[in-house]
């Protein structure tokens, strides 16, 4: 291997443009993980972070004098201010999940998360740490480049097409490396422990009442073979997640083993959110093309439940119409919309769609009908477009907007 080839490999690994869909999916999971983590803490917000918290601000500052990200000392130390902080944090979790002003939301979410952890470091588990460190790298990632409100806005403004642009994946690579290092170094730490080497560690972990979650039958807890398999299996799985996951042929087998490991821990041990947070980072290891293939399979499976195709007519010569059509293409994750150029012969022949179901409904985007007809059009297609499902109940009362040609009309 030469320096030049090493340099090429480095560039390919960190900079060769790739689809941002895995990291965008991770952003969604990241927002959800933060949301539920915070919600689980909600009954005790004041106990841990309030003006009369269990560990006082003064004690934390005295014991951890080094500079850290922490906004909480700058807030008025009142229950109201602390509550506002946490409710704002919850709103940010939703914003990150939906991809609204993604970069800013992510930055503020990270500030909030790091502040919470700096204010009270005595209640954190490894899941909290992973959430924080992955969040730092997610700040640099094109997390809003797909599956986001930001992207729909960019499409609507004509700044982006329907195809998701490719980005340099260096920030995603950092999240992957971080995840690998977690597993690799935990094996390293464990290699110093005789109980891990002699295969009894899991026995002690399962016997600790303080961690007990759901019951484990005695015939497993006291079965030396099961305990050895579980202990050494943990080490092998964690080592694989650190090393073998980088081999394409083995990646998904390793991921399945890691998911099984965490499912086992989630069942047997009471460590809030840790397993969910850890498993969610594995999404960054999924190859974009495999993600697309997986979604295609899920979509094919779900299609019978979604409903018939809807024909959407649009005028490509009218900018708002063309952009609305692009937005609809982007949100049409089930592929149930057939967007047809309103000036095409196909559009002028009602009921001549390519499939038997096509042509039953026509939706013109836009018409001079104004906002009302536009809204009715969205209502009409809402059952087949998850992004519009909030409108779906209204479709029961709507008959498609009443376009003269039998089509539903929509306005731009």
> Under rule CB under 8 A, which residues in 287-316 are in contact with another protein?
292, 296, 299
- Which residues in 128-147 contact another protein (CB under 8 A)? 129, 132-133, 135-136, 146-147
Q: Which is nearer to another protein, 59 or 78 (CB)?
A: 59
- Which residues in 261-290 contact another protein (CB under 8 A)? 270-272
Check if the beta carbon of residue 382 is closer than 8 Å to that of residue 396. Answer: no
Looking at 85-93, 253-261, 332-340, 396-404, which segment touches another protein (CB under 8 A)? Answer: 332-340
- Which residues in 368-387 contact another protein (CB under 8 A)? 387
Looking at 59-67, 248-256, 376-384, 403-411, which segment touches another protein (CB under 8 A)? Answer: 59-67
- Which residues in 171-200 contact another protein (CB under 8 A)? 174, 177-178, 181-182, 185-186, 188-190, 192-196, 200
Considering only CA atoms, which of 58, 37, 53, 50 is closest in space to residue 82?
50
Q: How far is the CB of 372 from another protein (least distance, A)?
A: 27
Q: How far is the CB of 8 from another protein (least distance, A)?
A: 13
How many Å apart are CA 218 and CA 88, to the nearest integer? 46
* CB within 8 Å of 264: residues ≥ 6 apart: 230
Considering only CA atoms, which of 285, 380, 387, 369 is closest in space to residue 327?
387
| 218 in contact with another protein (CB under 8 A) | yes
How many Å apart are CA 311 and CA 354, to the nearest integer? 10
Long-range contacts of residues 55-63, Cβ cutoff 8 Å, at least 24 apart: 55/120, 55/122, 57/119, 60/118, 60/119, 60/120, 60/121
| 122 in contact with another protein (CB under 8 A) | yes
In this structure, how many other beta carbons lie within 10 angstroms of the beta carbon of residue 412?
A: 20
Q: Which is nearer to another protein, 10 or 80 (CB)?
A: 10
Q: Which is nearer to another protein, 292 or 371 (CB)?
A: 292
How many Å apart are CA 39 and CA 127, to the nearest integer? 15
The C-alpha angle with vertex 192 and arms to 188 and 197, in degrees rounded to 5, equals 100
Q: Which is nearer to another protein, 95 or 273 (CB)?
A: 273
| 222 in contact with another protein (CB under 8 A) | yes
| 201 in contact with another protein (CB under 8 A) | yes
Check if the beta carbon of residue 321 is closer than 8 Å to that of residue 365. Answer: yes
| 208 in contact with another protein (CB under 8 A) | yes
Q: Are strands 337-341 and 310-314 parallel, antiparallel or unpaired?
A: parallel
Considering only CA atoms, which of 70, 21, 48 is closest in space to residue 288?
21
Give the one residue of 14, 156, 287, 375 binding another protein; rule: CB under 8 A: 14
Q: How far is the CB of 295 from another protein (least distance, A)?
A: 8
């Amino acid at each position: 291997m030469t320096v030049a080839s090493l340099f090429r490999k480095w560039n390919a690994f960190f900079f060769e443009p790739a689809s941002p869909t895995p990291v965008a999916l991770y952003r969604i999971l990241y927002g959800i993980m933060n949301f539920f983590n915070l919600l689980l803490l909600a009954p005790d917000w004041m106990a841990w972070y309030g003006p009369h918290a269990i560990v006082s601000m003064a004690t934390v500052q005295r014991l951890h004098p080094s500079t850290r990200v922490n906004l909480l000392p700058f807030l008025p130390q009142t229950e109201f201010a602390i509550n506002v902080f946490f409710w704002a944090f919850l709103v940010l979790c939703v914003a990150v999940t939906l991809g609204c002003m993604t970069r800013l939301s992510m930055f503020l979410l990270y500030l909030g998360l790091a502040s919470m952890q700096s204010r009270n470091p005595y209640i954190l588990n490894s899941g909290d740490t992973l959430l924080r460190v992955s969040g730092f790298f997610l700040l640099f990632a094109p997390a809003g480049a797909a599956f986001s409100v930001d992207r729909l806005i960019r499409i609507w403004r004509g700044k982006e097409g329907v195809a998701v642009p490719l980005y340099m994946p260096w920030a995603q690579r950092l999240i992957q490396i971080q995840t690998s290092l977690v597993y690799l170094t935990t094996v390293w730490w464990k290699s110093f422990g005789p109980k891990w080497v002699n295969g009894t560690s899991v026995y002690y972990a399962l016997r600790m009442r303080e961690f007990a979650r759901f019951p484990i039958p005695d015939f497993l807890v006291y079965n030396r073979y099961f305990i050895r398999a579980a202990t050494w299996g943990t080490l092998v799985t964690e080592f694989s997640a650190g090393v073998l996951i980088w081999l394409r042929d083995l990646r998904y087998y390793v991921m399945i083993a890691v998911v099984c490991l965490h499912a086992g821990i989630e069942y047997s041990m009471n460590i809030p959110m840790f397993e969910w947070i850890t498993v969610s980072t594995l999404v960054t290891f999924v190859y974009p093309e495999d993600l697309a293939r997986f979604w295609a399979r899920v979509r094919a499976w779900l299609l019978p439940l979604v409903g018939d195709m809807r024909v959407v007519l649009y005028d490509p010569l009218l900018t708002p119409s063309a952009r609305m059509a692009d937005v609809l293409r982007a949100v049409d994750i089930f592929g149930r919309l057939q967007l047809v150029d309103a000036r095409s012969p196909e559009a002028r022949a009602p009921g001549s769609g390519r499939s038997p179901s096509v042509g039953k409904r026509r939706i013109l985007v836009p018409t001079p009908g104004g906002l009302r007809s536009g809204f009715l059009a969205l209502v009409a297609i809402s059952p087949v477009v998850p992004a519009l499902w909030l409108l779906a109940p209204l479709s029961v009362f709507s008959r498609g907007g009443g376009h003269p040609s039998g089509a539903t009309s929509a306005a731009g």
